[in-house]
Chains A and B, each alone.
Chain A
Amino acid sequence: MLSRTAENLYWLARYVERAEYLARTIDATLRVTALPAAYIGKTNEWDSALLTAGVAASFYQAYEEANEHNVVEYLSFSQNNPSSIRNCIEAARLNSRSVRTALTSEMWDTINSAWIELQAVWSKGTSTREDLAKFLRFVQETSLRFDGSAYRTMLRNDAYWFSRMGVHLERADNTARILDVKYHVLLPEEEHVGGPLDFYQWSSILRSVSALTAYHWVYRETLKPWLIADLLILNDTLPRSLASCYGNLVRNLDQIGVAYGRQGPAQRHARGIRNRLEHSNMNDIFQHGVHEFIQEFIADNSRLGEIITKQYLI
């Protein structure tokens, strides 16, 4: 397939995934900040939301204070924030238009009708909490519908695999960023100061990767930071864990390698990351330092993005 088509499919999937992740982050933050101060302590959750979205620096160039109004505005609707939900949807639509021929009509319809629907939101905004909640739900549903359409209607060929790679690379990045911002509340109990306040932080983390219920099913335990870290990093049954994302990335890259009859640096690099995740346990990770581990992962993950681009997309 055309390199440009593969590139568009890959980015289209990333934009949709990112939009969903932002919607989840805002949703989770709204929940936590609605609690009385006594339950969440003094941390500014809106600041954390900006950090996990990776846009704190640019935010503070435009705004003074990270409060609900400003952050929701910046993450959802701002045209100046290149990765706002609005810009993600716009970019997804533009990418879809560029690769109309590689999309199934169901995928196109999902993106195009969401785009049409959201024009009204862009022009009117969300004046009430209810409007905002509806908007955030709509964005998440669009992503689900897009994913479902891809899964149910696309031919299983390189177009599908490039698109899935976009999803998993973006997803791994998002999960890693939450961990990066929140790692301090996940440290083993003897090491961190905080206490029962953190329960709400923990549930908020799980909520933003839609894993709160999953946690209980996997561990049958009350929320424990150690296990939360285990779930998000190493448990490959959770679709948003780093291990699961890399299981899928390796699989997709292998499928492309087989179809094209050759492998390259992208396959090797992805396998390297997956092996590291497979052979780690939480003990080692905490020994090594969660923060360092996550930062290395984020760098490795974005390096894989560069390698894929060089090997296939240009």
Chain B
Amino acid sequence: MAVAFDEMNIPGGDLRPAYQELARWLKETPPEALEYRRQEAELLFRRIGITFAVYGDSESTERLIPFDVIPRIMSAKEWAVLEKGLKQRVRALNMFLRDIYHGRDILRADIVPDDLIFQNPVFRPEMNGQQVPHDVYVHIAGIDIVRVDAEDFIVLEDNARTPSGVSYMLENREIMMRLFPDLFARHKVAPVERYPDELLAALRSVAPQSASSEPTVALLTPGVYNSAYYEHSFLADKLGIELVEGRDLVVKNNEVFMRTTEGLKRVDVIYRRVDDDFLDPLTFRPDSVLGVPGLMSAYAAGNITLANAVGTGIADDKAIYSYMPDIVKFYLGEEPILKNVPTWRCREPKDLAYVLDNLSELVVKEVHGSGGYGMLIGPAATKATIEAFRDKLKREPEGFIAQPTLALSTCPTCTASGLAPRHVDLRPFVLTGSKSTTIVPGGLTRVALKEGSLVVNSSQGGGTKDTWILDE
């Protein structure tokens, strides 16, 4: 594996410009002071209740995501490139979805194979021919970005279903500003606090035609036991909208209402944080108690907007991912600004053979997996794990893709033995409304806290950092 790109230090001893002020500050600040503020940050997180649940972990149902107080910094110039690339990528995702559920030009052009769409469990035939307001499918996208050198931004994953993490972006900033006012005074950091406003504007802009001029937006959560529940309540609060569960909603005459103390009240836009499968027991999983019976017929009748739309999983599927550069070119006629990680599609015999021969060097992911569950990191895995994975791969090659083990870039991070480089990624949040696509400068930086580890997922012991885009 190549040496990881260090975002702070240039080999040879110099600092990258964005980090110079931070480095000066670190030199002036005694390690005890840093440790003290780290503990203070943890206390704040715990008191505010910024916790998440880890599934299958019986010992503690609520845990804190470790927060690293050293910010991750990018220059305005770097951000400008990234922002352009993200907008391009999300435009293509939306056009791809519109096409897949309508004309299917891309299939006729043989860019993406048919069976990858039609035999894909996340493809939703219910969406065929369904109009969605302003043709926006992915209103909120969380695009996972990694860096391996100073020039390129690489997309690791497109999250087009119900991406989470934005509350950490916002709360990390709040807590950093509270703990390190001096550090902020010495930098010009682009603010992120208008995200809730932009989200609300985007959601209201895509209200159905039958909505009143003041559309009612609600956030649909699976409930308090969901791992991202804190975020759901946080966002509902910041947006000033009701946080509803399936049982709070009822469909009558193909319109959606919430049960209130004053009777039923119509809802026009649902920012749903419930997966497709659980949205409507009459259409999808009949055993779902999280959904709303009849929601899909109200949707088909055009009386409710769901954000994100139903069926967006077909765009962020890991098998489709490898076609993204072609998808961008096909719809926009542009070269993709953001790169893809080279990907072997195990469904193709040639690729599978290569993957099986090189398992110990590759990262193998389940096509439909997420959250870092069920993946193999070849270089870090034992022989036995690799062999077990080999069997799984042979049995069901179409369920997997493989990628080279990327040397994710590193940022200075607090560790037990002082500051040390740790691998990071970045999830910016891209909002698309009827008229525009916006991104607040920054995103959620996730950091693998274990030395050498490349897994940044919070469910696997990753932490987070505040992400600073310097506004020069």
Contact = CB atoms under 8 A, between A and B. Distances in A.
Interface of A: 1-6, 94, 97-98, 100-101, 108-109, 112-113, 116, 158, 162, 256, 260, 312-314
Nearest to A115: B49
A94 B49 CA distance: 12
Interface string B256-279: 001111100000000000000000
A158 B47 contact: no
A101 B237 contact: yes
Contacts of A5: 242
A108 B259 CA distance: 24
Contact of B261 (A6, A98, A100, A109): A6
B244 A97 contact: no
A5 B259 CA distance: 10
Contacts of A312: 261
Given A3-B260, A100-B233, A101-B233, A112 B244 contact: no
Interface in B213-266: 223-224, 229, 233-234, 236-237, 242-245, 247-248, 258-262
Contacts of A101: 233, 236-237, 242-243
A109 B237 contact: no
Contact of B258 (A2, A112, A113): A2
A10 B248 CA distance: 17
A6, A94, A100 — most chain B CB neighbours (10 Å): A100
A94 to B, nearest CB: 7
Contacts of A158: 261
A112 B262 contact: no
Given A97-B229, A101-B233, A2 B47 contact: no
Contact of B260 (A1, A100, A108, A109): A1
A98 B224 contact: yes
Given A2-B242, A4-B245, A97 B233 contact: yes
A1 B233 contact: no
A313 B49 contact: no
A4 B247 contact: yes
B46 interface: yes
Interface residues of B, number: 21
A108 B49 contact: yes
Nearest to B247: A4
A165 to B, nearest CB: 12
Contact of A313 (B47, B261, B262): B261
Given A1-B260, A97-B233, A101-B236, 15 more contacts: A1-B261, A2-B248, A2-B259, A2-B261, A4-B247, A4-B248, A5-B242, A94-B224, A97-B224, A100-B233, A100-B234, A101-B243, A113-B47, A162-B261, A260-B262
22 contacts: A2-B242, A2-B244, A2-B248, A2-B258, A2-B259, A3-B259, A3-B260, A3-B261, A4-B245, A4-B248, A4-B259, A97-B49, A97-B229, A100-B237, A100-B243, A101-B243, A112-B49, A113-B47, A162-B261, A256-B261, A312-B261, A314-B259
Interface of B: 46-47, 49, 223-224, 229, 233-234, 236-237, 242-245, 247-248, 258-262
A312 B262 CA distance: 7
A113 B46 CA distance: 9
Contacts of A97: 49, 224, 229, 233
A3, A6, A256 — most chain B CB neighbours (10 Å): A3
Nearest to A7: B261
A32 B247 CA distance: 48
A112 B259 contact: no
A2 B224 contact: no
Contacts of A4: 245, 247-248, 259
A261 to B, nearest CB: 8
Nearest to B49: A112
A164 to B, nearest CB: 14
A101 B233 CA distance: 6
A3 B49 contact: no
Nearest to A159: B261
A314 B263 CA distance: 10
Nearest to B265: A2
Contacts of A116: 46-47
B294 to A, nearest CB: 19
A158 B260 CA distance: 11
B224 to A, nearest CB: 5
A1, A97, A260 — most chain B CB neighbours (10 Å): A97
A313 B247 CA distance: 13
A2 B49 contact: no
Given A94-B224, A158-B261, A312-B261, A3 B248 contact: yes
